[in-house]
Structure 1
Amino acid sequence: MRIGELSERTRVSRRSLRYYEDQGLVVSTRSPSGQRHYAEDQVERVRLIQSFFAAGLSSRTIVEMLPCMTTRPTMRAAQDSMAVMCSERERLSTMLDAILAARAALDRLIDENSTYQARLAGESSAR
């Protein structure tokens, strides 16, 4: 598929796809006229990359994990990727814990505010 179709299917801009390719995150072949052509498996790869970006991973970190995103990495590449993946998983777990704590605090504030508003509404209707 050409870059426009990959862009439509993944909802990622053509500019971002070219950046991903420059960083070694996705691969394409070139037609004789120089047009990029992407294999079908690049759709899922772009979606995975997008989820990693959304989670705060850098393109450099994703590149370090790429050997395990391919079919047959060397043992050394698999070990290096595993170290990066474990480190990122720990970082994400810490972030998730903090986000869940913040959400719980917001839930408490929302409940308190709702209770306060209900009390005020009751007081004003009693007048």
Structure 2
Amino acid sequence: MRIGELSERTEVPRRLLRYYEEQGLIISHRLENGYRDYDEPTVDRVVQIRGLLDAGLPTRIIKQILPCLDKPRSIHFPDATPEMIATLRGELDRMERRIRCLEQNRRAVAEYLDDVLAYDPAAVS
């Protein structure tokens, strides 16, 4: 698929897709006319990248994490510095806190929705 279709399907601007490619996060193949051509799995890859970026991870760390999302794994540990490990631990802790907060908010919204749906205006005088 060409970059325009990938952009539409992932809701990621073309400019960002080109940036992801420059950073080595996604790969395209060049057609004879010079257009970028992306494989179908690139859609999921872009969604994963967006999720990791939204979680606050920088692209340099995302590039190292991406092999963990593939099967079979091909992780390269020589690049794992103590600083990177500390960053990943901090990001993981932050994600866990965010998940707990989102779960609490989801429960509150669900309870509120249940109350709204159960409300019987005829019962109130």
Aligned counterparts of 1:54 and 1:97: Cα–Cα separation in 2: 15
Aligned counterparts of 2:73 and 2:90: Cα–Cα separation in 1: 23
Where is the helix percentage greater, Structure 1 or Structure 2?
1
Which letter does structure 1 place at the counterpart of 2:10?
T
Residues 57 and 26 (structure 1 numbering): CA distance in 2 closer, same or farther, change over 3 Å? Answer: same
Q: In the TM superposition, what is the alpha-carbon distance from 1:58 to its structure 2 partner?
A: 0.5
Q: In the TM superposition, what is the alpha-carbon distance from 1:32 to its structure 2 partner?
A: 1.1
Residues 55 and 85 (structure 1 numbering): CA distance in 2 closer, same or farther, change over 3 Å? Answer: farther
For 2:65, the equivalent position in structure 1 comes to 65
Aligned counterparts of 1:85 and 1:31: Cα–Cα separation in 2: 39
Which letter does structure 1 place at the counterpart of 2:55?
A
Structure 2: any 5+ residue segments left out of the alignment? 109-125
Q: In the TM superposition, what is the alpha-carbon distance from 1:91 to its structure 2 partner?
A: 2.4
SS in 1 for 2:25: coil
Map of 1:85-124 to 2, 5 A cutoff? 88=88, 90-94=90-94, 96-97=96-97, 100=101
Matched, 1:43 2:43: yes
Report the TM-score, using the length of structure 2 for normalisation. 0.65
Structure 1: any 5+ residue segments left out of the alignment? 108-127
Q: In the TM superposition, what is the alpha-carbon distance from 1:52 to its structure 2 partner?
A: 0.4
Report the TM-score, using the length of structure 1 for normalisation. 0.64
Aligned counterparts of 1:81 and 1:44: Cα–Cα separation in 2: 25
Contact 1:2 1:37 in 2 (8 A): yes
Aligned counterparts of 1:58 and 1:88: Cα–Cα separation in 2: 10
Contact 2:56 2:91 in 1 (8 A): no
How many pairs does the alignment contain? 101
For 1:18, the equivalent position in structure 2 comes to 18
Contact 1:3 1:14 in 2 (8 A): yes
SS in 2 for 1:97: helix
